[in-house]
Amino acid sequence: MKKYYSVVIALLGVLVGALAMLTYNKAVENRLRLQAEYRDWRKLNLVLQSLDKNYVDTVDRKGVTDAAITAALGALDPHSVYMPPAVLEEAETDLAGNFDGIGIQFNVPNDTAIVLEVIPGGPSEKIGLQPGDRILKVDDKVIAGVKCPQDSMVRRMRGPSGSKVLITILREGEVIPFEITRGKIPMNSVDASFMVNDTTGYIRLGKFARTTYHEVLAASSSLLGQGMTQLIFDLRDNGGGFFDQALYLSDMFLPKGASIVYLEGRNRPRKDYTASGDGALQKIGLSVLINENSASSSEIFAGAIQDNDRGTIVGRRSFGKGLVQEPLYFTDGSGLRITVARYHTPSGRCIQKPYTSSEDYAYDIYYRYRDGEMLNADSVKVDRSEVFHTVGGREVYGGGGIVPDVFVPIDTTSASKFYQACSRKATAMRFASAYFDSHKAELQSIDDFDSLIRYLDRAGLESRFLAFASEKDGLKPASPAEWEAEKSYMMTSVRALVGRYSKLGEKAFYHIYLTIDNVFDAAIKN
Protein backbone atom coordinates (compact mmCIF):
# COMPACT_ATOMS: atom_id res chain seq x y z
CA MET A 1 0.00 0.00 0.00
CA LYS A 2 2.86 2.36 0.83
CA LYS A 3 4.32 1.81 -2.62
CA TYR A 4 0.89 2.44 -4.14
CA TYR A 5 0.48 5.71 -2.26
CA SER A 6 3.96 6.76 -3.24
CA VAL A 7 3.21 6.18 -6.91
CA VAL A 8 -0.06 8.11 -6.67
CA ILE A 9 1.62 11.00 -4.90
CA ALA A 10 4.39 11.03 -7.51
CA LEU A 11 1.86 11.06 -10.32
CA LEU A 12 -0.08 13.85 -8.67
CA GLY A 13 3.14 15.79 -8.28
CA VAL A 14 3.90 15.35 -11.97
CA LEU A 15 0.37 16.45 -12.94
CA VAL A 16 0.49 19.49 -10.66
CA GLY A 17 3.88 20.38 -12.04
CA ALA A 18 2.68 19.96 -15.57
CA LEU A 19 -0.39 22.09 -14.90
CA ALA A 20 1.76 24.72 -13.25
CA MET A 21 4.10 24.71 -16.22
CA LEU A 22 1.17 24.96 -18.66
CA THR A 23 -0.32 27.82 -16.65
CA TYR A 24 3.03 29.56 -16.55
CA ASN A 25 3.60 29.07 -20.27
CA LYS A 26 0.10 30.35 -21.00
CA ALA A 27 0.71 33.42 -18.84
CA VAL A 28 4.03 34.05 -20.59
CA GLU A 29 2.35 33.60 -23.98
CA ASN A 30 -0.43 36.04 -23.09
CA ARG A 31 2.07 38.55 -21.74
CA LEU A 32 4.16 38.35 -24.89
CA ARG A 33 1.04 38.70 -27.05
CA LEU A 34 -0.12 41.76 -25.10
CA GLN A 35 3.36 43.26 -25.35
CA ALA A 36 3.35 42.72 -29.09
CA GLU A 37 -0.12 44.27 -29.38
CA TYR A 38 1.03 47.20 -27.23
CA ARG A 39 4.04 47.75 -29.50
CA ASP A 40 1.76 47.67 -32.56
CA TRP A 41 -0.60 50.30 -31.17
CA ARG A 42 2.14 52.33 -29.44
CA LYS A 43 3.47 53.50 -32.80
CA LEU A 44 0.39 55.69 -33.25
CA ASN A 45 0.95 57.32 -29.85
CA LEU A 46 4.61 57.86 -30.64
CA VAL A 47 3.73 59.60 -33.92
CA LEU A 48 1.28 61.94 -32.18
CA GLN A 49 3.71 62.66 -29.37
CA SER A 50 6.49 63.36 -31.88
CA LEU A 51 4.26 65.80 -33.76
CA ASP A 52 3.36 67.56 -30.55
CA LYS A 53 7.02 67.88 -29.56
CA ASN A 54 8.73 68.62 -32.85
CA TYR A 55 6.27 70.02 -35.43
CA VAL A 56 7.14 73.46 -36.79
CA ASP A 57 3.78 75.07 -35.87
CA THR A 58 1.36 74.66 -32.99
CA VAL A 59 -0.45 71.36 -33.36
CA ASP A 60 -4.25 71.22 -33.23
CA ARG A 61 -4.30 68.11 -31.04
CA LYS A 62 -8.04 67.54 -31.38
CA GLY A 63 -8.02 68.01 -35.14
CA VAL A 64 -5.04 65.72 -35.66
CA THR A 65 -6.49 63.09 -33.31
CA ASP A 66 -9.83 63.16 -35.14
CA ALA A 67 -8.05 62.84 -38.48
CA ALA A 68 -6.00 59.89 -37.21
CA ILE A 69 -9.10 58.12 -35.91
CA THR A 70 -10.94 58.71 -39.19
CA ALA A 71 -8.00 57.37 -41.22
CA ALA A 72 -7.61 54.32 -38.97
CA LEU A 73 -11.29 53.36 -39.26
CA GLY A 74 -11.22 54.03 -42.99
CA ALA A 75 -8.62 51.27 -43.35
CA LEU A 76 -11.08 48.71 -41.94
CA ASP A 77 -14.42 48.80 -43.78
CA PRO A 78 -16.79 51.40 -45.27
CA HIS A 79 -19.11 51.53 -42.26
CA SER A 80 -16.79 51.77 -39.26
CA VAL A 81 -16.80 55.54 -38.78
CA TYR A 82 -15.86 58.32 -36.40
CA MET A 83 -18.47 61.05 -35.90
CA PRO A 84 -17.71 64.46 -34.41
CA PRO A 85 -20.35 65.75 -31.96
CA ALA A 86 -22.48 67.63 -34.51
CA VAL A 87 -22.52 64.71 -36.96
CA LEU A 88 -23.35 62.20 -34.24
CA GLU A 89 -26.18 64.33 -32.88
CA GLU A 90 -27.70 64.78 -36.34
CA ALA A 91 -27.43 61.05 -37.14
CA GLU A 92 -29.11 60.01 -33.91
CA THR A 93 -31.78 62.70 -34.14
CA ASP A 94 -32.72 61.53 -37.62
CA LEU A 95 -33.55 58.06 -36.29
CA ALA A 96 -34.99 58.98 -32.91
CA GLY A 97 -38.58 59.39 -34.11
CA ASN A 98 -38.78 62.97 -32.84
CA PHE A 99 -36.63 66.07 -32.63
CA ASP A 100 -36.69 69.60 -31.26
CA GLY A 101 -37.72 72.16 -33.84
CA ILE A 102 -40.51 74.32 -35.23
CA GLY A 103 -42.63 71.64 -36.95
CA ILE A 104 -42.66 72.21 -40.70
CA GLN A 105 -41.81 70.35 -43.87
CA PHE A 106 -40.35 72.48 -46.63
CA ASN A 107 -38.90 72.22 -50.11
CA VAL A 108 -36.36 74.37 -51.96
CA PRO A 109 -37.44 74.41 -55.63
CA ASN A 110 -35.70 77.65 -56.58
CA ASP A 111 -33.16 78.69 -53.93
CA THR A 112 -35.91 79.63 -51.46
CA ALA A 113 -37.42 77.37 -48.80
CA ILE A 114 -41.18 77.00 -49.26
CA VAL A 115 -43.32 75.52 -46.51
CA LEU A 116 -45.04 72.37 -47.76
CA GLU A 117 -46.73 71.26 -44.57
CA VAL A 118 -47.23 72.63 -41.09
CA ILE A 119 -47.25 69.69 -38.66
CA PRO A 120 -50.57 69.64 -36.76
CA GLY A 121 -50.20 70.65 -33.13
CA GLY A 122 -46.62 71.81 -33.65
CA PRO A 123 -45.15 75.21 -32.75
CA SER A 124 -45.43 76.61 -36.29
CA GLU A 125 -49.12 75.77 -36.60
CA LYS A 126 -49.83 77.36 -33.23
CA ILE A 127 -48.06 80.58 -34.22
CA GLY A 128 -49.67 80.82 -37.69
CA LEU A 129 -47.22 79.59 -40.35
CA GLN A 130 -48.97 78.31 -43.47
CA PRO A 131 -48.14 76.09 -46.47
CA GLY A 132 -46.74 78.25 -49.24
CA ASP A 133 -44.88 80.66 -46.95
CA ARG A 134 -41.41 81.57 -48.25
CA ILE A 135 -38.74 81.52 -45.54
CA LEU A 136 -36.47 84.54 -45.94
CA LYS A 137 -34.47 84.52 -42.70
CA VAL A 138 -33.79 82.37 -39.65
CA ASP A 139 -32.98 84.77 -36.82
CA ASP A 140 -30.66 87.29 -38.55
CA LYS A 141 -29.34 84.85 -41.18
CA VAL A 142 -30.69 85.34 -44.71
CA ILE A 143 -31.34 81.91 -46.29
CA ALA A 144 -33.37 82.91 -49.38
CA GLY A 145 -31.65 83.54 -52.71
CA VAL A 146 -28.15 82.89 -51.37
CA LYS A 147 -27.79 79.21 -52.24
CA CYS A 148 -27.96 78.18 -48.59
CA PRO A 149 -27.66 74.36 -48.31
CA GLN A 150 -30.88 72.67 -47.23
CA ASP A 151 -29.20 70.81 -44.35
CA SER A 152 -27.87 74.14 -43.07
CA MET A 153 -31.42 75.54 -43.09
CA VAL A 154 -32.62 72.55 -41.08
CA ARG A 155 -29.86 72.96 -38.48
CA ARG A 156 -30.71 76.63 -37.99
CA MET A 157 -34.40 75.90 -37.46
CA ARG A 158 -33.78 73.06 -35.03
CA GLY A 159 -32.80 73.75 -31.46
CA PRO A 160 -33.56 72.81 -27.86
CA SER A 161 -37.21 72.55 -26.90
CA GLY A 162 -38.30 75.78 -25.22
CA SER A 163 -35.79 77.96 -27.07
CA LYS A 164 -37.00 80.69 -29.42
CA VAL A 165 -36.21 81.35 -33.07
CA LEU A 166 -37.29 84.25 -35.31
CA ILE A 167 -38.54 83.06 -38.71
CA THR A 168 -39.12 85.79 -41.31
CA ILE A 169 -41.41 84.74 -44.14
CA LEU A 170 -42.82 86.21 -47.34
CA ARG A 171 -46.58 85.69 -47.74
CA GLU A 172 -48.50 87.17 -50.67
CA GLY A 173 -45.98 89.99 -51.06
CA GLU A 174 -45.82 90.85 -47.36
CA VAL A 175 -42.80 90.20 -45.13
CA ILE A 176 -43.90 88.83 -41.74
CA PRO A 177 -41.71 87.90 -38.74
CA PHE A 178 -42.77 85.00 -36.49
CA GLU A 179 -41.13 84.34 -33.14
CA ILE A 180 -41.55 80.59 -32.58
CA THR A 181 -40.87 78.62 -29.42
CA ARG A 182 -39.36 75.28 -30.45
CA GLY A 183 -40.90 72.04 -29.21
CA LYS A 184 -40.82 68.26 -29.63
CA ILE A 185 -41.70 67.35 -33.21
CA PRO A 186 -42.64 63.80 -34.25
CA MET A 187 -40.78 62.44 -37.29
CA ASN A 188 -42.83 59.91 -39.21
CA SER A 189 -41.11 56.98 -40.87
CA VAL A 190 -44.26 55.96 -42.78
CA ASP A 191 -44.37 58.43 -45.66
CA ALA A 192 -47.76 57.30 -46.96
CA SER A 193 -50.36 54.55 -46.55
CA PHE A 194 -53.62 54.04 -48.43
CA MET A 195 -55.74 51.53 -50.34
CA VAL A 196 -54.93 51.38 -54.06
CA ASN A 197 -57.99 49.24 -54.81
CA ASP A 198 -60.65 47.32 -52.89
CA THR A 199 -58.23 44.66 -51.58
CA THR A 200 -54.69 46.03 -51.95
CA GLY A 201 -53.02 48.35 -49.47
CA TYR A 202 -49.83 50.35 -49.91
CA ILE A 203 -47.34 51.45 -47.25
CA ARG A 204 -44.20 53.44 -48.05
CA LEU A 205 -41.56 53.32 -45.33
CA GLY A 206 -38.84 55.98 -45.48
CA LYS A 207 -36.57 54.71 -42.67
CA PHE A 208 -36.37 52.40 -39.67
CA ALA A 209 -36.74 54.83 -36.77
CA ARG A 210 -37.63 54.24 -33.12
CA THR A 211 -41.33 54.62 -33.89
CA THR A 212 -41.42 52.55 -37.09
CA TYR A 213 -43.09 49.40 -35.73
CA HIS A 214 -45.90 51.33 -34.07
CA GLU A 215 -46.41 53.49 -37.18
CA VAL A 216 -46.62 50.45 -39.47
CA LEU A 217 -48.91 48.67 -37.00
CA ALA A 218 -51.28 51.66 -36.98
CA ALA A 219 -51.17 52.04 -40.77
CA SER A 220 -51.76 48.33 -41.43
CA SER A 221 -54.60 48.19 -38.87
CA SER A 222 -56.33 51.03 -40.71
CA LEU A 223 -55.87 49.27 -44.07
CA LEU A 224 -57.15 45.98 -42.67
CA GLY A 225 -60.26 47.84 -41.56
CA GLN A 226 -60.71 49.00 -45.16
CA GLY A 227 -60.61 45.44 -46.53
CA MET A 228 -56.92 44.87 -47.23
CA THR A 229 -55.97 41.29 -48.13
CA GLN A 230 -52.79 42.18 -50.09
CA LEU A 231 -50.06 44.64 -49.14
CA ILE A 232 -47.43 46.38 -51.24
CA PHE A 233 -44.67 47.39 -48.83
CA ASP A 234 -42.38 49.98 -50.41
CA LEU A 235 -38.79 50.05 -49.10
CA ARG A 236 -37.22 51.79 -52.08
CA ASP A 237 -34.61 54.39 -51.08
CA ASN A 238 -34.92 53.26 -47.45
CA GLY A 239 -31.36 53.31 -46.12
CA GLY A 240 -32.21 51.41 -42.95
CA GLY A 241 -31.92 52.40 -39.31
CA PHE A 242 -32.59 50.56 -36.07
CA PHE A 243 -32.04 46.81 -36.22
CA ASP A 244 -34.77 45.95 -33.71
CA GLN A 245 -37.40 47.64 -35.88
CA ALA A 246 -36.51 45.31 -38.78
CA LEU A 247 -37.05 42.39 -36.41
CA TYR A 248 -40.42 43.70 -35.24
CA LEU A 249 -41.64 44.28 -38.80
CA SER A 250 -40.48 40.84 -39.96
CA ASP A 251 -42.26 39.31 -36.97
CA MET A 252 -45.53 40.85 -38.15
CA PHE A 253 -45.51 38.65 -41.26
CA LEU A 254 -43.71 35.40 -40.34
CA PRO A 255 -44.98 32.23 -38.62
CA LYS A 256 -43.72 31.12 -35.23
CA GLY A 257 -40.13 29.88 -35.24
CA ALA A 258 -39.31 31.23 -38.70
CA SER A 259 -35.76 32.54 -38.93
CA ILE A 260 -35.45 36.30 -39.47
CA VAL A 261 -31.68 36.89 -39.45
CA TYR A 262 -28.54 35.86 -37.63
CA LEU A 263 -25.43 37.82 -36.66
CA GLU A 264 -21.90 36.52 -36.38
CA GLY A 265 -18.42 38.04 -35.97
CA ARG A 266 -14.90 37.22 -34.80
CA ASN A 267 -15.65 38.37 -31.26
CA ARG A 268 -19.42 37.94 -31.45
CA PRO A 269 -20.77 34.38 -31.32
CA ARG A 270 -23.64 33.57 -33.67
CA LYS A 271 -26.97 34.93 -32.51
CA ASP A 272 -30.21 33.89 -34.19
CA TYR A 273 -33.47 35.84 -34.25
CA THR A 274 -36.78 34.07 -34.94
CA ALA A 275 -40.43 35.05 -35.26
CA SER A 276 -42.80 34.84 -32.29
CA GLY A 277 -45.84 33.84 -34.33
CA ASP A 278 -47.90 36.71 -32.87
CA GLY A 279 -47.79 38.94 -35.95
CA ALA A 280 -51.05 40.42 -37.20
CA LEU A 281 -50.18 40.18 -40.91
CA GLN A 282 -49.24 36.51 -41.28
CA LYS A 283 -52.12 35.82 -43.69
CA ILE A 284 -51.77 38.96 -45.80
CA GLY A 285 -50.41 38.63 -49.35
CA LEU A 286 -47.16 40.57 -49.58
CA SER A 287 -45.00 42.25 -52.19
CA VAL A 288 -41.87 44.15 -51.09
CA LEU A 289 -40.44 46.87 -53.35
CA ILE A 290 -36.67 47.46 -53.22
CA ASN A 291 -34.02 49.23 -55.27
CA GLU A 292 -30.31 50.00 -55.23
CA ASN A 293 -30.76 52.43 -52.32
CA SER A 294 -32.57 49.96 -50.04
CA ALA A 295 -30.01 49.07 -47.38
CA SER A 296 -29.32 47.54 -43.98
CA SER A 297 -32.61 47.02 -42.09
CA SER A 298 -34.50 47.13 -45.40
CA GLU A 299 -32.35 44.22 -46.60
CA ILE A 300 -32.84 42.29 -43.36
CA PHE A 301 -36.60 42.53 -43.81
CA ALA A 302 -36.53 41.72 -47.54
CA GLY A 303 -34.14 38.79 -46.97
CA ALA A 304 -36.34 37.35 -44.24
CA ILE A 305 -39.43 37.55 -46.43
CA GLN A 306 -37.64 36.06 -49.45
CA ASP A 307 -35.85 33.20 -47.68
CA ASN A 308 -39.07 32.17 -45.92
CA ASP A 309 -41.00 32.27 -49.22
CA ARG A 310 -43.41 34.61 -47.46
CA GLY A 311 -43.78 37.18 -50.23
CA THR A 312 -42.42 38.45 -53.54
CA ILE A 313 -39.49 40.87 -53.76
CA VAL A 314 -39.93 43.28 -56.67
CA GLY A 315 -37.52 45.84 -58.14
CA ARG A 316 -33.73 45.93 -58.42
CA ARG A 317 -30.84 44.53 -56.37
CA SER A 318 -30.53 46.24 -53.01
CA PHE A 319 -27.47 48.17 -51.82
CA GLY A 320 -25.65 45.39 -49.97
CA LYS A 321 -25.00 46.76 -46.47
CA GLY A 322 -24.71 43.79 -44.12
CA LEU A 323 -22.18 44.92 -41.52
CA VAL A 324 -23.30 45.34 -37.92
CA GLN A 325 -22.12 48.45 -36.06
CA GLU A 326 -22.00 49.02 -32.32
CA PRO A 327 -21.67 52.57 -30.94
CA LEU A 328 -18.93 53.86 -28.66
CA TYR A 329 -19.48 57.31 -27.14
CA PHE A 330 -16.90 59.79 -25.85
CA THR A 331 -17.37 62.45 -23.20
CA ASP A 332 -16.89 65.28 -25.73
CA GLY A 333 -20.06 64.23 -27.57
CA SER A 334 -18.31 62.43 -30.40
CA GLY A 335 -18.49 58.71 -31.03
CA LEU A 336 -17.56 55.68 -33.09
CA ARG A 337 -19.61 53.11 -34.90
CA ILE A 338 -17.49 49.99 -35.07
CA THR A 339 -18.32 46.96 -37.21
CA VAL A 340 -18.55 43.91 -34.95
CA ALA A 341 -20.45 41.31 -37.00
CA ARG A 342 -22.21 40.50 -40.27
CA TYR A 343 -25.88 40.02 -41.04
CA HIS A 344 -26.89 36.72 -42.63
CA THR A 345 -30.32 35.97 -44.09
CA PRO A 346 -32.15 32.81 -42.94
CA SER A 347 -30.65 30.79 -45.82
CA GLY A 348 -27.14 31.81 -44.76
CA ARG A 349 -26.43 34.54 -47.30
CA CYS A 350 -24.27 37.44 -46.18
CA ILE A 351 -25.98 40.67 -47.19
CA GLN A 352 -22.72 42.67 -47.40
CA LYS A 353 -21.27 43.34 -50.84
CA PRO A 354 -17.47 43.14 -51.29
CA TYR A 355 -15.40 46.13 -50.11
CA THR A 356 -11.81 45.12 -50.84
CA SER A 357 -11.49 48.25 -52.98
CA SER A 358 -12.80 51.45 -51.39
CA GLU A 359 -13.09 53.06 -54.82
CA ASP A 360 -15.12 50.20 -56.26
CA TYR A 361 -17.36 50.30 -53.19
CA ALA A 362 -17.94 54.03 -53.48
CA TYR A 363 -18.77 53.81 -57.18
CA ASP A 364 -20.72 50.55 -57.03
CA ILE A 365 -24.06 52.09 -58.03
CA TYR A 366 -22.41 53.92 -60.92
CA TYR A 367 -20.92 50.62 -62.09
CA ARG A 368 -24.36 49.03 -62.01
CA TYR A 369 -25.55 51.67 -64.48
CA ARG A 370 -22.41 51.31 -66.59
CA ASP A 371 -22.60 47.54 -66.75
CA GLY A 372 -26.27 47.41 -67.66
CA GLU A 373 -27.56 45.97 -64.39
CA MET A 374 -30.24 48.66 -64.10
CA LEU A 375 -31.73 47.67 -67.44
CA ASN A 376 -31.21 43.92 -67.76
CA ALA A 377 -31.74 41.13 -65.25
CA ASP A 378 -29.03 39.06 -66.93
CA SER A 379 -26.46 41.72 -65.97
CA VAL A 380 -27.18 41.48 -62.24
CA LYS A 381 -24.00 40.36 -60.48
CA VAL A 382 -24.48 37.39 -58.17
CA ASP A 383 -21.98 34.98 -56.63
CA ARG A 384 -22.88 31.57 -58.07
CA SER A 385 -19.96 29.85 -56.37
CA GLU A 386 -22.22 29.07 -53.42
CA VAL A 387 -25.91 28.30 -53.73
CA PHE A 388 -28.38 28.92 -50.92
CA HIS A 389 -31.98 27.75 -50.63
CA THR A 390 -35.20 29.24 -49.33
CA VAL A 391 -37.45 27.18 -47.04
CA GLY A 392 -39.35 26.11 -50.13
CA GLY A 393 -36.19 24.96 -51.92
CA ARG A 394 -35.74 27.87 -54.32
CA GLU A 395 -32.14 28.73 -55.20
CA VAL A 396 -30.87 32.14 -54.08
CA TYR A 397 -27.36 33.55 -54.32
CA GLY A 398 -24.98 35.77 -52.39
CA GLY A 399 -22.70 38.44 -53.76
CA GLY A 400 -24.10 41.42 -51.91
CA GLY A 401 -27.61 42.74 -51.46
CA ILE A 402 -30.96 41.10 -52.06
CA VAL A 403 -31.69 40.13 -55.67
CA PRO A 404 -35.43 40.55 -56.33
CA ASP A 405 -37.70 37.72 -57.42
CA VAL A 406 -39.19 40.01 -60.06
CA PHE A 407 -36.66 42.30 -61.73
CA VAL A 408 -37.92 45.69 -62.93
CA PRO A 409 -35.52 47.92 -64.92
CA ILE A 410 -35.32 51.68 -64.51
CA ASP A 411 -37.92 53.44 -66.65
CA THR A 412 -36.27 55.24 -69.58
CA THR A 413 -39.34 55.37 -71.83
CA SER A 414 -40.21 59.00 -71.04
CA ALA A 415 -36.74 60.52 -70.91
CA SER A 416 -37.21 62.98 -73.79
CA LYS A 417 -35.10 66.10 -74.12
CA PHE A 418 -37.98 68.24 -72.85
CA TYR A 419 -38.47 66.04 -69.78
CA GLN A 420 -34.75 66.05 -69.01
CA ALA A 421 -34.53 69.82 -69.41
CA CYS A 422 -37.50 70.31 -67.07
CA SER A 423 -35.92 67.96 -64.54
CA ARG A 424 -32.64 69.89 -64.55
CA LYS A 425 -34.46 73.16 -63.81
CA ALA A 426 -37.06 71.62 -61.43
CA THR A 427 -39.71 73.17 -63.68
CA ALA A 428 -42.55 70.91 -62.51
CA MET A 429 -41.76 71.52 -58.84
CA ARG A 430 -41.57 75.27 -59.32
CA PHE A 431 -44.79 75.26 -61.31
CA ALA A 432 -46.57 73.40 -58.50
CA SER A 433 -45.35 75.99 -56.01
CA ALA A 434 -46.45 78.89 -58.21
CA TYR A 435 -49.84 77.26 -58.81
CA PHE A 436 -50.35 76.85 -55.08
CA ASP A 437 -49.60 80.53 -54.50
CA SER A 438 -52.63 81.50 -56.56
CA HIS A 439 -54.90 78.61 -55.50
CA LYS A 440 -54.00 78.18 -51.84
CA ALA A 441 -57.52 78.31 -50.42
CA GLU A 442 -58.86 75.78 -52.94
CA LEU A 443 -56.07 73.23 -52.41
CA GLN A 444 -55.98 73.57 -48.64
CA SER A 445 -59.70 72.82 -48.42
CA ILE A 446 -59.28 69.38 -50.03
CA ASP A 447 -58.91 66.51 -47.57
CA ASP A 448 -60.00 63.41 -49.51
CA PHE A 449 -58.48 61.78 -52.58
CA ASP A 450 -61.57 61.62 -54.80
CA SER A 451 -62.19 65.35 -54.35
CA LEU A 452 -58.55 66.05 -55.19
CA ILE A 453 -58.71 64.07 -58.43
CA ARG A 454 -61.89 65.88 -59.50
CA TYR A 455 -60.22 69.21 -58.76
CA LEU A 456 -57.06 68.35 -60.71
CA ASP A 457 -59.11 67.11 -63.67
CA ARG A 458 -60.75 70.51 -64.12
CA ALA A 459 -57.78 72.71 -63.19
CA GLY A 460 -56.37 73.02 -66.72
CA LEU A 461 -52.90 72.06 -65.54
CA GLU A 462 -51.57 70.97 -68.94
CA SER A 463 -51.86 74.33 -70.68
CA ARG A 464 -50.78 76.17 -67.53
CA PHE A 465 -47.68 74.02 -67.15
CA LEU A 466 -46.60 74.35 -70.79
CA ALA A 467 -47.03 78.12 -70.58
CA PHE A 468 -45.01 78.25 -67.35
CA ALA A 469 -42.19 76.13 -68.83
CA SER A 470 -42.04 78.38 -71.89
CA GLU A 471 -42.24 81.72 -70.07
CA LYS A 472 -40.04 80.96 -67.06
CA ASP A 473 -37.47 78.54 -68.48
CA GLY A 474 -37.71 78.91 -72.24
CA LEU A 475 -38.58 75.22 -72.59
CA LYS A 476 -40.94 73.66 -75.14
CA PRO A 477 -41.46 70.13 -76.44
CA ALA A 478 -39.62 69.64 -79.73
CA SER A 479 -42.85 68.71 -81.49
CA PRO A 480 -46.49 67.85 -80.80
CA ALA A 481 -45.55 64.20 -81.29
CA GLU A 482 -42.91 64.40 -78.56
CA TRP A 483 -45.40 65.95 -76.16
CA GLU A 484 -48.03 63.33 -76.92
CA ALA A 485 -45.48 60.59 -76.23
CA GLU A 486 -44.54 61.92 -72.81
CA LYS A 487 -47.62 63.92 -71.78
CA SER A 488 -49.11 61.24 -69.57
CA TYR A 489 -45.86 60.72 -67.65
CA MET A 490 -45.04 64.41 -67.31
CA MET A 491 -48.50 65.57 -66.32
CA THR A 492 -48.93 62.79 -63.79
CA SER A 493 -45.79 64.08 -62.10
CA VAL A 494 -47.17 67.62 -62.20
CA ARG A 495 -50.51 66.52 -60.76
CA ALA A 496 -48.72 64.64 -57.96
CA LEU A 497 -46.66 67.72 -57.07
CA VAL A 498 -49.70 70.00 -57.05
CA GLY A 499 -51.68 67.44 -55.05
CA ARG A 500 -48.97 67.46 -52.40
CA TYR A 501 -50.10 71.00 -51.47
CA SER A 502 -53.55 69.72 -50.47
CA LYS A 503 -54.22 68.59 -46.91
CA LEU A 504 -53.37 65.03 -48.04
CA GLY A 505 -49.68 65.94 -48.40
CA GLU A 506 -47.36 63.03 -49.22
CA LYS A 507 -50.27 60.60 -49.36
CA ALA A 508 -51.64 62.51 -52.35
CA PHE A 509 -48.25 62.64 -54.05
CA TYR A 510 -47.59 58.89 -53.88
CA HIS A 511 -51.17 57.91 -54.65
CA ILE A 512 -51.02 59.84 -57.92
CA TYR A 513 -47.39 59.14 -58.83
CA LEU A 514 -47.75 55.36 -58.45
CA THR A 515 -49.90 55.27 -61.59
CA ILE A 516 -46.71 55.82 -63.66
CA ASP A 517 -44.40 53.76 -61.42
CA ASN A 518 -43.25 50.66 -63.30
CA VAL A 519 -42.05 48.85 -60.14
CA PHE A 520 -45.41 49.36 -58.46
CA ASP A 521 -47.15 48.26 -61.66
CA ALA A 522 -45.10 45.04 -61.69
CA ALA A 523 -46.10 44.37 -58.07
CA ILE A 524 -49.79 44.87 -58.86
CA LYS A 525 -49.58 42.52 -61.85
CA ASN A 526 -47.64 39.95 -59.84
Q: Is 307 a catalytic residue?
A: yes
Residue 104 parent element (H or E): strand 104-107
CA distance linking residue 404 with residue 290, whole number of Å: 8
Largest CA distance in the chain: 116
Give the distance, in angstroms, between the CA of residue 147 and the centroid of all CA atoms in the same chain: 26
Helix count and strand count (H, E) for the chain: 18, 21
Instruction: Check if the beta carbon of residue 454 is closer than 8 Å to that of residue 522.
Output: no
Q: How many residues does the chain have?
A: 526
Pairing of strands 98-101, 104-107: unpaired
Q: Is 133 a catalytic residue?
A: no
Pairing of strands 323-329, 174-181: unpaired
Catalytic residue among 220, 296, 347, 493: 296
Instruction: Check if the beta carbon of residue 194 is closer than 8 Å to that of residue 449.
Output: yes
Catalytic residue among 307, 364, 405, 517: 307
| Residue 237 vs residues 54, 295, 317, 516: alpha-carbon distances, Å | 49, 8, 12, 18
End-to-end CA distance of the chain, in Å? 86
Would you list the DSSP string of 343-395?
EE-TTS-B-PPP-SSHHHHHTHHHHHHHTTTTT-GGG---EEEEEEE-TT--E
CA distance linking residue 79 with residue 125, whole number of Å: 39
Q: Which amino acid is at 1?
A: M
Q: Hey, which residues does 231 pair with through a beta bridge?
A: 201, 286
Q: Which amino acid is at 378?
A: D
Catalytic residue ranges = 296, 307, 321
